Amino acid sequence: MTEKKTISRKSNGKWFKKNKKILIAIVVLIIALILLSNKNGKNKKETETQTQTEIIEVKDKKTLVEVEHLEAQDIVAEIKVFGQTASNKKIPVKSRTDGTVKSTIAHKGQLVKTDDVLIELSMDDRMAKLNAAKAQIEESKLIYKTTKTLVKQNFDSEAALIQAEAGLKAAKSNLEAVQKDINYTKITAPFDGIFDKRTVEIGDYVGKNTQIGTLISLNPIKIKADIPERYIGRVQKGRIATTKLLSGQKFDSKLTYVSSSAESATRTFNIELESENPNNKIAEGLTVEITLPLDTQKAHKISTLSALTLNEVGTIGIKTVEDGIVQFYEVTIIREDKDGFWIAGLPENATVITTGQEYVKTGEAVRTQEKEVK
């Protein structure tokens, strides 16, 4: 038994000696794997720590926005509406007697003065009627004179004198009617204006009250428009508005009329303005842009509309910074100047975000930088 154990030990010794290098290699590999594992764990912890630090830094880093300090001023608010030019007078010219058109003195589009002849009708038998009426006057005068003398001499009655006097009055009335009818053969302009849309030509027969054309007056020119009901309490008659044609021509106009009742369909109020138009250069029916002054109110001036933005529900407004926090105010544009726009709705003193407003939200903390003055 002892001999067997001795043999076994000798065999194991020989095996260790034979495989010594392999065992050392295995031990070295195991130690390397352990060291590598510890290093990876350390690196992972360092990475996690670094990521958390970066997150904290991002959270602490505030967005930089450009701002401008604005102070409210008292200005006259304005509204812009579109309207149309209109004549201040426009009537159909009608004949006051019947007859054939003898001459068309005024042409379409011609400027005419009051009592200028537009159309002349033929006289026909009017001169004969005039002579007959004059003869009747002379006869009636003679009858009246004779009757009056006879009554004084008691050769005739008072009733005969009354009848003679009535005959004389009737003759005079007939003469006046004939003379008026003759005068009516010359159709004249009732006021200064433009003879527009003549509807008859030489040789046409016209009856009494037949339209022969249209007369319009363009001086002063009227401008008609409608304004929304929310402005009705802020407009005043007598205010001077700036009116611009599509051609670019500008002229002043005076507010002369404001309707007292709204249009049921549109809930708007009719207004009318007037402007001098001495040369009739402004025609009827032109589209115009009207800048109408309203009342005085507090407003801030911004140089461009790029400062406007939308909030989360789509309302147009301005973002400001108050104590480092972004605030939003709904605003309205109340006036436009050559170098900017006037808006209402901000606090009297406001720090307006002019650049970067689209990248920040209401309630967000931000850093600010003053806008450079150019």
Tens of pLDDT, residues 99-134? 999 999 999 999 999 999 999 999 999 999 999 999
Q: Which of 196, 215, 234 is the last residue of a domain?
A: 215
d(CA 177, CA 87): 35
CA distance 282 to 292: 19
Is 243 within 8 Å of 229 (Cβ atoms)? no
In the prediction, which pLDDT does 243 show? 96
Give kind and range of the element (H or E) at residue 136.
helix 126-152
Cα 247 to its chain centre, rounded Å, is 16
Provide the number of structural domains found in the chain: 4
Positive or negative, the CA dihedral 135, 140, 145, 147 is: positive
Listed in sequence order, the residues at least 6 apart from 229 whose beta carbon sits closer than 8 Å to its beta carbon are 262, 267, 268, 269
pLDDT tier at 18, thresholds 50, 70, 90: low
Distance between first and last Cα of the chain = 110
The domain boundary, picked from 246, 272, 296, lies at 296
For residue 29, give its domain range. 2-60
> Are 150 and 204 contained in the same domain?
yes
* Phi, psi angles (nearest 5°) of residue 182: -65, -45
User: Does residue 74 contact residue 361 with C-beta atoms inside 8 Å?
Assistant: no
Residues 239 and 202 in one domain: no
Do residues 72 and 334 make contact, with C-beta atoms less than 8 angstroms apart?
A: no
The string of pLDDT tens digits covering residues 29-82 is 665 555 555 555 555 545 444 444 343 344 457 899 999 999 999 998 889 999
Q: What is the pLDDT of residue 144?
A: 83
Mean pLDDT for all residues in the chain: 85
What distance in Å separates the CA atoms of residue 250 and residue 247, rounded to the nearest whole number? 9
Predicted pLDDT at 43: 53
Local confidence band at 160 (pLDDT 50, 70, 90 cut-offs): confident
Q: Which pLDDT belongs to residue 68?
A: 92
CATH of the domain at 235: 2.40.30.170
pLDDT score, position 161:
81
Structure tokens at 156: 């005739």
